Structure 1
Amino acid sequence: MNAKAAQRHGPPPTSDETNAVLRRLLLSDGRKHWKGYVLAFVFMGTMAACTAGLAYLMNDAVNAIFVHPTPAAVWAVSGIVMVLSIIKGASAYGQSITMARIGNRVVADNQKRAFDRLMLQDAAYFGHRHTAEITTRFTAGAAGARGALDLIVTSIGRDALSLVMLAGVAFVQDPFLAVIALVVMPAAVLGTRKLIKKAKTIFTTGFTSGVKLSSIVMEVFQGIRTVKAYTLEPVMRERTHKFIDDVEINANRLVRTQAKSSPLMETLGGLAIGGVILYAGYNVIELGRSPGQFFSVLTALLLAYEPAKRLSRLHVELVSHVMGARMLFDLLDAPAPDADSPGVRALPRPRGRVEFKDVVFAYRPGENVLRSLDLVAEPGRTTALVGQSGGGKTTIINLIERFYDPQSGAVLIDDVDTRTVSRTSVRASVALVSQDVYLFSGTIRENIGFGRPGASEEEIVAAAKAAHAHPFIMGFETGYDTFVGEHGAQLSGGQRQRIAIARAFLKNAPILLLDEATAALDSESEAEVQKALAELAHERTTIVIAHRLQTVVRADRICVIEGGRVVESGTHDELIARRGRYYGFYFAQFAHESGNADSSVGSAVESGPDGDLLRA
């Protein structure tokens, strides 16, 4: 991940930002689940009361056993201690289950919200960010929201209540001893303030390193064939180990920072307990007071030690959760450029006339890809886009799909500016088959069915047959229930293409976009795919991108795209006769078949190569 990507994580939050994040969490998820949190508070309050009760009973227990031995009192105190312990255990179970269910719901709700927001981002959003960064925000953000709420609720409901009740026991038994105990908590909190800022900085650095590690590991696994083909294992091993070491170093720094609060509490707690023992011993030995009070206060102090230590670390441990929640809110608050405006109308099912009118478009400011482009694709006919790479052909496809909108000019479907209708309705009218087929993890049936969710089994099979995919599908042991693997890795290139074509058949859109759909196939697979594409293009407005010109010689219209403009257009015969740019491309591709360019061209025009992509 580059420096700009790292900057997107932002600096560590200030105290005001931390408070704002916590306030938002409490007003959103906290308020939504307030009934569950109230129940958890009841359980935690019961636990705190039982803990305080056990400390209070130490006075009676010690006196009943050692000062005024009374069997009946011993039995009574023992019974009460057992009952309180059972109630405390049951309350602990109830609190744990309640908090876990609420936490799981908080994670699920926020992941749904984050995913829905991501679905409203445009192609540029995903192009500027690594997949690892997006998935980390998606998972760590929801977990951070849960962790922050859990920490706040348990700190108040369990630790703070326990501390207050145990302090109350100490006050009842001996106010002076209680004052000694109460000195510990404020001093511990003040002592951890300097650790908070350091923990925030370390967590930010650690998150960046973690995203870098996830990015490189994901890329290595996805490109494993390239890694092995170029024997890059040592290089990738060295790079990955470096990032792993960075993550480990930052994790150790964060642990050291968090752990520094423990020695502070250990020291202050030991001083407080030592002072209590000295004072109590003097009272018992010199003044003859009951030892029960001493043991009761000492028990309260010892039981209060862990809650006080957790509270002293609260701000330090809250840092990572707050920053995770902030990542979630950054995602939820991001603009949604792919969302349609309220009330926007839908595009009626079009005849399929596509027109680019004086379109200017740039992915980056000042670097225009399309320059005042004018282009028309007539309904029911095939328009081929040819030209050198970088001329803007794929960008034309992207604008038709409304993955992007032009900076000026208009893209029209049936004379309707696509920016004035919903994106969903535009994309519902368009089917795309590209060279880079994307199949989702799942079965062949599921991947074809994505063309039209809810389609019947008969419709899926019919689409597969139309795409010439049914025979090879039935050749698998499990047929349509065959799992395709990650990105369709269990299928060949030709099989993946025919699954994609079946998906397009099932969608049955009036406009068909073909982006180098056969470029990466062998001749046998290409012949099968060509047949399927020819059937799919029948009576549809088809716009096809091809570098291999023999696949488009029979298109109704061929447009040569250069420098973001249409520099030449016409039928194959017309363009050959002009001996312009198209003629030059065609001659360059087929000159090796004949010493005479005209004879090779004439042969191709008369017979056409076997399996031409689109037959008029």
Structure 2
Amino acid sequence: MLKFFRSSANQRLVARLLRESFRKHVFDYSIAISAMIVVAGMTAASAWIMRDIANEFSGPKDIDTIYLIAGAVATIFIVKGLATFIQTLFLSRAGNSIIADRQLRIYDRVLEHGIEFYHSYSSADLIMRITQSAQKARSVVDTLVTSFIRDLFSVVGLVAVMAVQQPMLSLVAFIIGPIAILMVNKLLKRTRKIAKQELVSVSIIMRVLQETVFGARIVKSFNLEGMMRDRMYSAVADVQRRANSMAALQAITGPIMETLAGLAIAGVILISGYLIVEGGHTPGSVMAFITALLLAYEPAKRLARARIALESGMVGVRLMYEMTDRPLKLTEAPDAKPLPEGAGEIRFDNVCFSYRDDEPVLTDLNIVFPAGKMTALVGASGGGKSTVLNLIMRLYDPDSGRVLFDGVDIKDATLHSLRERFAYVSQDTFLFDATVMHNIRMGRQDATDDEVIAAAKAANAHAFIKALPDGYDTNIGENGVLLSGGQRQRISIARAMLRNSQVLLLDEATSALDAESESLFRDALDNLQEGRTTIAIAHRLSTVHRAHNIIVMDGGRAIEQGTHAELLAKPDGAYRKLHEYQFLP
């Protein structure tokens, strides 16, 4: 145990974990620790009283003394039982609270991060860290508290009884104890590595399961069941193998302690018998010593195993703090203010941006999205169109240059006030595992049912919603799995319409709509964008020909802009070539 704390890294992490845990749960831990001290005291007392029991039954009988001893024994075990109950109850309450607190803290930190963070971790890894790491944090605290309070105090108390009753016999136990500790320590070298590998394998299991669920159509259509099964079997086998290795490390401490304890007890019995028969010692002191030795066995064994449990738990604690301590790349300015009211003009001023070093996506981009007008972004994939929307919503910050909202650098505005100005519809529609009503209401959570229905009608979604088994109260499953692609997209459009925001951002919003639905959506969009700044990304040029301004993006630059007619009038223009690719045979 002491060797574990020689590591300065372990000391810092444990100190931080205890400081944060005890600060909030000081009452529960105080009660639990007090009960543990009582348990340790009663354990030592139960060994001590064996002297009187043995002496009384081996010598002259005094019924009053027997009554007194019996009452004392009953009291010791009643108090010990009650204290054990209190210890377990309050330690569990504190531990459960730690798990909940840690999970919420990690989740809050995850929400604070920008989009780049979600590209750094797989969803399975995040789930594993939020669930497993919090459990490990609790196990470390529980191990430290029980080992250093209950088990250590019990061993100290029992050793004191042994030393007082039979100093010479105690030497046998004091020689065997260090030997056991040295042997257990040799088992710990692989513990940390195995524990970390086990957590990695658990995250792989989660990842394969998620890919199987979300990619079910691809898995089935490409006959990938065999490959997915092999991946899952391999990951499960890895977890099983490492769990078995960890179990073996933990289990082997038991036989070691059992063997050494048996040798120690056998030696004690031999010497005790000699002392009683030949040395004139009283049976009581020998019985008290043997009882203390036997009672010390279990807490001593737990203390020997504590370091293995700590090494395993600290892997999860490190992963937890790695997550919560990761710096935020996208933060509000210390003096950020709510975005002031304005017309809704958005301007890019010499903006440069890259997702990875030496791979620029936008280069010295200077464009204006006029207030109350519709601007379309078109061009080949990889030209930077979606990145423009990401920067407008401040999901990322430019490497250089500024994004201005009515002349205000959006870095100087609070994130909440900025994003309140936007409604966003993407080609990758996301819906919650809830009812249709709930999903549309996410656009504006205080909206009435009538407002939700009006938005659905405007998005041409009302008819198919009414045809669902429970209408607007139909649960649509995870990410709307029970709906068609076009139906999901119309619900997301209704959600954006309900938001009734100043700026409407459409990223291929009609990609999953058929020709008839798209025509109806364009009619609804004409009404929706009245007086709003609308920015639409489109590959199908039929959806943007009525835009007030069309910007052609290529290689992170705006290479052309103008109205549909103006751009078509350019014989060698990029927009005209895109138009010919789509509409000429």
Does TM, normalized by the shorter one, top 0.5? yes
Q: Give, in whole Å, the separation in 2 of the partners of 1:337 and 1:459.
A: 38
Q: Give, in whole Å, the separation in 2 of the partners of 1:340 and 1:359.
A: 19
Q: Aligned partner of 2:452: which letter?
A: I
Q: Aligned partner of 2:330: which letter?
A: D
Matches within 5 A, 1:47-86: 47-86=39-78
Residue 463 of structure 1: SS of its match in structure 2?
helix
- 1:494 maps to 486
Q: Which of residues 252, 258, 278 is equivalent to 1:266?
A: 258
Counterpart check, 1:472 vs 2:471: no
Structure 2, unmatched stretches of 5+, are none
TM-aligned CA deviation for residue 363 of structure 1: 0.7
On the 8 A contact 1:370/1:392 being kept in 2, the answer is yes
Matches within 5 A, 1:139-538: 139-538=131-530
Residue 271 of structure 1: SS of its match in structure 2?
helix
Summarize deviations over 1:546-597 as a string: whole Å, max 9, x none: 11111111111111111111111111111112132211111111123xxxxx
- 2:574 maps to 581
Q: Give, in whole Å, the separation in 2 of the partners of 1:147 and 1:532.
A: 57
Summarize deviations over 1:328-364 as a string: whole Å, max 9, x none: 1111211112331222112123311112222211111
On the 8 A contact 1:501/1:532 being kept in 2, the answer is no
TM-aligned CA deviation for residue 534 of structure 1: 3.6
TM-aligned CA deviation for residue 442 of structure 1: 2.1
Q: CA 1:282–1:326 in 2, change beyond 3 Å: closer, same or farther? A: same
Structural RMSD (CA): 2.1
- 1:97 maps to 89
Q: Give, in whole Å, the separation in 2 of the partners of 1:292 and 1:436.
A: 80
- 2:547 maps to 555
Q: Give, in whole Å, the separation in 2 of the partners of 1:273 and 1:44.
A: 27
Q: TM-score, normalised by structure 2?
A: 0.94
Summarize deviations over 1:39-63 as a string: whole Å, max 9, x none: 1011112222222222222222233
TM-aligned CA deviation for residue 458 of structure 1: 4.1
Q: CA 1:182–1:567 in 2, change beyond 3 Å: closer, same or farther? A: same
TM-aligned CA deviation for residue 213 of structure 1: 2.5
Q: Give, in whole Å, the separation in 2 of the partners of 1:68 and 1:572.
A: 116
TM-aligned CA deviation for residue 500 of structure 1: 1.5
Summarize deviations over 1:352-402 as a string: whole Å, max 9, x none: 111222221111111111122222111111111111111111111111111
Q: Give, in whole Å, the separation in 2 of the partners of 1:530 and 1:302.
A: 83
Summarize deviations over 1:272-291 as a string: whole Å, max 9, x none: 21221111110112234322
TM-aligned CA deviation for residue 168 of structure 1: 2.1
Q: Give, in whole Å, the separation in 2 of the partners of 1:366 and 1:290.
A: 86
Residue 265 of structure 1: SS of its match in structure 2?
helix
Q: Which of residues 99, 119, 122 is equivalent to 2:114?
A: 122
TM-aligned CA deviation for residue 479 of structure 1: 3.3
Q: Give, in whole Å, the separation in 1 of the partners of 2:57 and 2:525.
A: 93
Residue 351 of structure 1: SS of its match in structure 2?
coil
Q: TM-score, normalised by structure 1?
A: 0.90
Residue 190 of structure 2: SS of its match in structure 1?
helix
On the 8 A contact 2:489/2:513 being kept in 1, the answer is no
TM-aligned CA deviation for residue 131 of structure 1: 0.9
TM-aligned CA deviation for residue 217 of structure 1: 2.1
On the 8 A contact 1:494/1:521 being kept in 2, the answer is yes
TM-aligned CA deviation for residue 436 of structure 1: 0.9
Structure 1, unmatched stretches of 5+, are 1-11, 593-616
Q: Give, in whole Å, the separation in 2 of the partners of 1:175 and 1:13.
A: 31
Q: Give, in whole Å, the separation in 2 of the partners of 1:144 and 1:589.
A: 57
Counterpart check, 1:42 vs 2:27: no
Summarize deviations over 1:66-118 as a string: whole Å, max 9, x none: 44445554444333323322222221111111011111111111222211111
Q: CA 1:177–1:526 in 2, change beyond 3 Å: closer, same or farther? A: farther
Summarize deviations over 1:194-228 as a string: whole Å, max 9, x none: 33332112112222222223222221221111100
Question: Which segment is superposed worse, 130-139 or 182-191?
Answer: 182-191
Q: Give, in whole Å, the separation in 2 of the partners of 1:429 and 1:376.
A: 17
Q: Give, in whole Å, the separation in 2 of the partners of 1:179 and 1:533.
A: 89
Residue 552 of structure 2: SS of its match in structure 1?
strand
TM-aligned CA deviation for residue 303 of structure 1: 1.0
Q: Give, in whole Å, the separation in 2 of the partners of 1:340 and 1:271.
A: 66
Q: Aligned partner of 2:578: which letter?
A: F
Give me the identity figure in percent: 43
Q: CA 1:359–1:397 in 2, change beyond 3 Å: closer, same or farther? A: same
Question: Which segment is superposed worse, 469-478 or 151-160?
Answer: 469-478
Q: CA 1:38–1:195 in 2, change beyond 3 Å: closer, same or farther? A: same
Q: Aligned partner of 2:116: which letter?
A: A
Q: Give, in whole Å, the separation in 2 of the partners of 1:571 and 1:228.
A: 45
Question: Which segment is superposed worse, 400-409 or 266-275?
Answer: 266-275
Q: Give, in whole Å, the separation in 1 of the partners of 2:116 and 2:486.
A: 30
